Chains A and B, each alone.
Chain A
């Protein structure tokens, strides 16, 4: 079963829920799909090894064959090539690697070479199987790194996916193919507003979901009222707690110091599993 931990608003506690949930389960895998700012391993402290580099295929021009006809730059939707009277300029970070330029070139003057935009790292020797993706600084192809990372999911085992914030491409790439999505929010006007945006996207994707309310005693009860009206299950409530905040700031998963929370996360997982199965039954 693949479970994504997501939210519209950043900083609501996605990583906290993902790490503590994964550590509370036996035999789970954890994937940090927030490849722009991966934070899970700050709490795990594992020694990671590079598993693979994520490459985009960029064009290379053979100037002996090129007659500067301009068909490639005309075709490119991303403005990654500019053809001058006697030269072709390539802007690598704009290239999506679609390969269109080499297909349209009438002189077979374009070949392609991989350019690294990110890296996948993993640790398989710890109690928890953990992988993370890391987008290189200054690069744009976030979703490509997320997809490469998800290729490492063993579908026979529980996979917990820590998703990036927002509701756009990186978020969609991280939740699109999962079985269940846990949306983490806080009960403030910003948290509530961004939760509704995330719910809209998750419903469009047709994924079952529930909500975890973090810092449930800060703000008001608008999130819970909304969840009742919309028949969205509230899976867990985490109050503001100075000990949890302190452990978080130090990079310590709080289930390690507060064992009562381990049981709550195990229950959260059981609830998610049965909600998912019930949802599947009602569909059939």
Chain B
């Protein structure tokens, strides 16, 4: 079984649009939406949820005020400023380390489980899908990403699928690392803006740090062809394949508004050309992956 993650560094370059198109082109794949704190894939794939699993994040400290003597030792030893002046836990700051539980002389603090979201196993018109929703204000997104990935592997086994297509989050931190750990390849979607180039270089650095092969897709290549050449040269110098280039187009937005992938949408004659380019890109991705 192979795993492919679509990432970008910079947000809004077209990860989900391209991942959804790949999902419609793949013959035997599971889809995983790992952008758990701003998941959008379901808006196009319309999954029918088969199973909902509660997700518990890191434990959080809880102070029993009837036992607390306000000695302040917990506050003094907490390195995350998670205990307020009146000795209450600030949920947003608590990392769940448990130092306060250990230090409290009265045994007034315990660690409690907290539901931090839901994970879903679903059916879509392109195959099984694993996705999730982080609860409002919850923070353990890296852990939830790992959970969605575990669910996607289980789905792949259950339904005999040989590929998992993972839509990743933007950035380079915790949730990105959780989305790409142990995958066979990443496809990085970029755009020819100075931000796109800068973020591409950083996220390729993350992939190479974890020894994961990468290919690059250039979206909206015609908004600045000079910068597109810079990206192609950079990839060439670093031995990274550019698997395809897509022009700036309103087709992805129009398709999205009809809850369709670009491949399914045929609003005007241009969309045929756009779909062909995506099909070629997918062919190149599959060749690199195998």
Measuring CB to CB, which residues of chain A are less than 8 angstroms from any residue of chain B? Answer: 8-12, 15, 34, 36-37, 39, 42-43, 57, 75, 77-78, 96-100, 103-104, 135, 137-140, 142, 164-172, 176, 188-190, 193-194, 197, 200-201, 204-205, 218-220, 245-246, 248-251
Contact = CB atoms under 8 A, between A and B. Distances in A.
Contacts of A201: 136-137
Interface SS of B by simple majority? loop
Nearest to B111: A77
Interface string B187-198: 000011111001
A137 B172 contact: yes
B288 interface: no
B141 A166 contact: yes
Interface stretch (B93-101, B122-130, B275-283): B93-101
B258 to A, nearest CB: 9
A251 B97 CA distance: 42
Given A142-B173, A189-B43, A8 B257 contact: no
A59 B16 CA distance: 40
A205 B137 contact: yes
B97 A189 contact: no
B244 interface: no
Interface residues of B, number: 63
Nearest to A240: B250
Most buried by B among A8, A166, A246: A166
A179 B15 CA distance: 33
Contacts of A39: 10, 194-195, 198-199
Most buried by A among B9, B173, B198: B173
Most buried by B among A10, A138, A170: A10
A37 B170 contact: yes
Nearest to A43: B194
Which 8 pairs from chain A and chain B are nearest by CB? A10-B11, A11-B12, A98-B97, A251-B194, A36-B171, A249-B224, A168-B141, A168-B37
Contact of B38 (A97, A138, A166): A166
Contacts of B80: 98
Contacts of B199: 37, 39
A229 to B, nearest CB: 19
A200 B37 CA distance: 12
Contacts of A57: 79
15 contacts: A12-B12, A37-B198, A39-B199, A78-B97, A137-B172, A137-B206, A140-B173, A165-B11, A169-B139, A190-B40, A204-B136, A205-B92, A220-B257, A250-B194, A250-B227
Interface string B126-159: 0000000010111101100000000000000000
B223 interface: yes
Given A42-B195, A100-B98, A168-B141, A219 B257 contact: yes
A77 B40 contact: no
A140 B142 contact: yes
A218 B257 CA distance: 11
B38 A194 contact: yes
A38 to B, nearest CB: 8
Given A11-B11, A42-B194, A77 B59 contact: yes
A246 B192 CA distance: 10
Interface string B211-246: 000000000000110010000000000000000000
Contacts of B195: 15, 37, 39, 42, 248, 251
Nearest to B210: A138
A103 B103 contact: yes
Interface in B29-67: 35-38, 40, 43, 58-59
A73 to B, nearest CB: 13
A138 B96 CA distance: 22
Contacts of B198: 37, 39, 42
